[in-house]
């Protein structure tokens, strides 16, 4: 993985003249440094974290309150420490079982509170899923995909002038994916005549428009045909107010993730997973497809859907995923972190019926079945898709795999990381 880190360094180096010490332009800065450089320890090994707090770059000799907790769980220890020259060392202890400890920090200055946290791992390579692997998993998905394919992929397409350039064209598509459902997407493809790899990019969670269609056009500039899709059959040209109204109809943000969860055949996400396969059907039917390379790429819910598509469709030749959601979602029943959307936080959500349904939709059971190369990226400080569940997914993948672990990252990646993933796909073209 060193070569990918090196590429990132090169990309960042081009921006050095514009770089700042405080990239987020904050008046205050936390610095947290575990005494293991990779933030990883063996179970039973004690961890220490040096904590620093600065305002305008000046070290602050103030009191910091802290909590220590397993990943996403209630605190098991609390304390306070006085910073000297803006620094102090906190002994956060150890874990007897594989997992992550979260050091949660609060500094008070006047009437303001400043919060931060840092997670360290203990033998995370030993983490295993709570979610069971159903015996009829493969036959369930085979039957649903075959049923959907009884409906031809219907396509409506219009060129979008504002997202097209002299290098590539952009089209707004509507794809019929089964007899009931459709999806929309923006397709970008190089103008130059030729045959190209295809990339499917499923979305992160939410009922929302396709964000900034021009932000990933470096794929087209590098010789890829790319489809950025949504999953709800909602035209991305709708207004923000219209999307807000539809979101409200589900009673809560991302409420579609609970829709029909009592029954595997009625769960909302069934048509979403099938739609991703039908999108590959469409992309591999394009006359401009090179006939060899079909990729999937996404982050969060999109990372989950990328991994799921790679497992369901053997035409997928490589997969890139950031901090995948929908991973070991019932893990909280094992008294540890589970994956987004954190059903345990919803009243009586993890019932036996719902847990059984989740077995057919959880990323962990798709990860077991992936055969193509995978590039997985995740951070330790992520409270949306916690590192516990990302490691579980990573541990289950047996196909060729690369990782880029960015401990400090929360639920985000940088442009440099995303660009490096495109380069990784380019290297994996046949």
248 is catalytic: no
Element (H, E) at 10: helix 2-13
User: What span, in angstroms and rounded, lies between the C-alpha atoms of 262 and 318?
Assistant: 33
Residues in CB range of 179: below 8 A, 6 or more apart? 148, 150, 151
The 3-state DSSP class for residue 396 equals: helix
Selecting among 71, 382, 390, 428, the annotated active-site residue is 382
**Taking the C-alpha atoms of 357, 184, 212 and 226 in order, what is their torsion angle to the nearest 10 degrees?**
90
The 3-state DSSP class for residue 97 equals: coil
Selecting among 181, 271, 411, 428, the annotated active-site residue is 411
265 is catalytic: no
300 is catalytic: yes
Cα within 13 Å of Cα(220), Cβ side: 25
Contact yes or no for 384/323 (Cβ under 8 A): yes
Residue 192: C-alpha distances to residues 141, 161, 165, 224 (Å) = 38, 17, 12, 11
Contact yes or no for 1/404 (Cβ under 8 A): yes
User: What span, in angstroms and rounded, lies between the C-alpha atoms of 196 and 179?
Assistant: 30
Contact yes or no for 306/296 (Cβ under 8 A): yes
User: What span, in angstroms and rounded, lies between the C-alpha atoms of 226 and 320?
Assistant: 14
Selecting among 182, 300, 327, 390, the annotated active-site residue is 300
Task: Count CB neighbours of 211 within 10 A.
Answer: 12
Q: Indicate which residues carry an active-site annotation.
A: 300, 382, 411
């Amino acid at each position: 993985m060193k070569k990918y880190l090196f590429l990132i360094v090169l990309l960042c180096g081009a921006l050095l003249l514009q770089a700042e010490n405080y990239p987020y332009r904050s008046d205050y800065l936390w610095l947290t440094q575990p005494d293991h450089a990779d933030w990883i320890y063996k179970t039973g090994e004690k961890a220490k974290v040096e904590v620093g707090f600065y305002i305008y770059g000046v070290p602050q000799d103030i009191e910091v309150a802290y909590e220590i907790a397993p990943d996403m769980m209630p605190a098991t220890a609390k304390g306070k420490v006085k910073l000297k020259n803006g620094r102090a060392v906190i002994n956060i202890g150890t874990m007897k079982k594989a997992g992550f400890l979260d050091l949660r920090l609060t500094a008070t200055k006047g009437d303001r509170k400043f919060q931060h946290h840092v997670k360290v791992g203990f033998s995370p390579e030993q983490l295993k899923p709570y979610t069971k692997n159903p015996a009829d998993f493969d036959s369930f998905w085979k039957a649903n995909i075959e049923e959907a394919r009884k409906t031809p992929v219907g396509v409506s397409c219009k060129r979008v002038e504002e997202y097209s350039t002299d290098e590539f064209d952009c089209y707004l598509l509507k794809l019929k994916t089964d007899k009931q459902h459709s999806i929309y997407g923006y397709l970008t493809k190089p103008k130059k005549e030729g045959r190209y790899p295809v990339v499917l990019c499923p979305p992160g969670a939410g009922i929302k428009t396709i964000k900034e269609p021009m932000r990933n056009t470096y794929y087209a500039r590098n010789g890829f045909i790319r489809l950025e899709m949504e999953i709800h059959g909602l035209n991305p040209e709708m207004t923000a107010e219209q999307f807000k109204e539809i979101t409200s109809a589900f009673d809560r943000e991302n409420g579609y993730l609970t829709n029909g969860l009592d029954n595997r055949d009625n769960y909302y996400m069934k048509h979403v997973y099938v739609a991703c396969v039908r999108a590959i059907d469409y992309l591999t039917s394009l006359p401009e497809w090179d006939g060899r390379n079909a990729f999937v790429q996404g982050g969060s819910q999109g990372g989950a859907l990328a991994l799921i598509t790679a497992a369901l469709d053997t035409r997928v030749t490589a997969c890139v995923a950031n901090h995948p959601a929908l991973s070991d979602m019932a893990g909280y029943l094992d008294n540890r972190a589970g994956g987004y959307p954190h059903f345990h936080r919803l009243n009586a959500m993890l019932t036996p019926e719902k847990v059984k349904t989740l077995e057919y939709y959880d990323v962990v059971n798709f990860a077991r079945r992936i055969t193509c190369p995978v590039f997985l990226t995740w951070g330790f400080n992520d409270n949306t898709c916690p590192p516990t569940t990302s490691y579980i997914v990573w541990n289950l993948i047996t196909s060729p795999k690369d990782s880029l672990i960015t401990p400090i990252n929360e639920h985000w990646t940088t442009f440099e990381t995303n660009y490096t993933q495109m380069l990784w796909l380019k290297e994996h073209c046949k």
